[in-house]
Amino acid sequence: MRTSERIRVLLVLLAAVMAGVPEAGAQSPPSKPAPLPTEITAIRFNSGQAVVPYFEGWIRKPDGTFDMVFGYFNRNHQQELAIPAGPDNKVEPFGPNADQPTYFLPRRQRFIFRVRVPADFGKKEVVWTITANGRTERGYGNLLPQEEITERVVMTNGNFDPGLDDPNKAPTITIAPLDRVALNEPVTLTSIVTDDGLPKLRQAAPPPSARTGAANPFQAQIARSDGPRLRGLNVTWLQYGGPAKVVFGHTEPILVGEGKAVTTARFPTPGTYKLIATATDAGRLSTTTEIVVTVPGQR
């Protein structure tokens, strides 16, 4: 090989080596980009986040049909959203309105919505789409065998214990007819509840008494109860739909006394509202019922 050819080969090899050497201070790119988190759980968002539909499972009905059960997760800690059935809140393939929730409370709401599908539904899917704060999320429901649940799972809010040796039955609940409904005026909600009395109520030990003396500088901040604490039959209310937030007289469970639990609701905007009442016994078995309230405008 002549000298000129050797020099040309050496120059080609040197150029190839230099092409593989990064510039001073430069870093080689990673072989695979780090995945971005879908949610930074350490940050609390009061508003501006998405509402995520959740498929909870499906229930086999005696007539051969199936209930597809959904819940949702409103990622906001405070913001409540009214999203009417339509382009931003639709259930396919049944059209936009499948009686899904149209008012979304903060955080997780489980086993709240059902879609009945025929016995020959097969491998089709139910898709619930929600767009909130400019973000679109979807929940997909199908009849996969591993997704089958039972009514007891719903009644126990996700407990998969079949309760074969449990004699306890869930309570029943109905809502008394409402009096006249007027805008911005409290309406009485009376729940009529019956139960088998199981399990028997147990008295919890009273909380420890507040210590006295200088050794307890936080004495005034200790909540004290003079009687035993009971966990009994109770009713809770939840807003399922409506154009604006319903203001309930009770935000905590209401203990049932003499077969009734009474509270109030106030409706700030004319329109149609759907409310859900849940009766829960001491064994944590629950039953729900719903009412639809039409609020007229001011005359």
Mark whether 92 and 184 lie in a shared domain: no
- Give the pLDDT confidence score for residue 213 in this predicted structure: 43
Mark whether 73 and 121 lie in a shared domain: yes
- Give the pLDDT confidence score for residue 200 in this predicted structure: 83
Measured in residues, the chain has a length of: 299
Segments forming the whole domain that contains residue 62? 51-149
Angstrom CA distances, 32 to 25, 27, 29, 35, 269, stand at: 21, 14, 8, 9, 53
| Residues of the chain by 3-state class (helix, strand, coil), percent to 5 | 10, 35, 55
- Give the pLDDT confidence score for residue 205 in this predicted structure: 52
Structure-block tokens of residue 118: 């025929």
Structure-block tokens of residue 130: 């929600």
Mark whether 109 and 192 lie in a shared domain: no
**Longest CA–CA separation in the chain, Å:** 111
- Give the pLDDT confidence score for residue 94 in this predicted structure: 86
| Rounded CA Rg of the chain | 29
CB atoms within 10 A of CB 12: 10
Mark whether 181 and 284 lie in a shared domain: yes
Element (H, E) at 4: helix 3-19
pTM of the predicted protein model: 0.76
CB 233 within 8 A of CB 279: yes
Element (H, E) at 154: helix 151-155
Mark whether 109 and 195 lie in a shared domain: no
Tell me the per-residue pLDDT of 192-210, one tens digit each, with 9 for 90 and over.
Answer: 999 999 988 765 555 554 4
Q: Which residues of the chain have pLDDT under 70?
A: 1-42, 202-231, 299
- Residue 224 in domain: no
Q: Look at the chain and report how many structural domains it folds into.
A: 2
- Residue 7 in domain: no
- Give the pLDDT confidence score for residue 211 in this predicted structure: 44
Mark whether 178 and 285 lie in a shared domain: yes
- Residue 46 in domain: no
Mark whether 187 and 264 lie in a shared domain: yes
- Give the pLDDT confidence score for residue 201 in this predicted structure: 72
CB 212 within 8 A of CB 181: no
- Residue 72 in domain: yes
Looking at the DSSP bridge assignments, the partners of residue 184 are: none
- Give the pLDDT confidence score for residue 160 in this predicted structure: 87
- Give the pLDDT confidence score for residue 29 in this predicted structure: 46
Question: What CATH number does residue 259 fall under?
Answer: 2.60.40.2410
- Give the pLDDT confidence score for residue 299 in this predicted structure: 63
**Number of H helices and number of E strands within the chain?**
2, 17
Percentage of residues of the chain with pLDDT beyond 90: 68
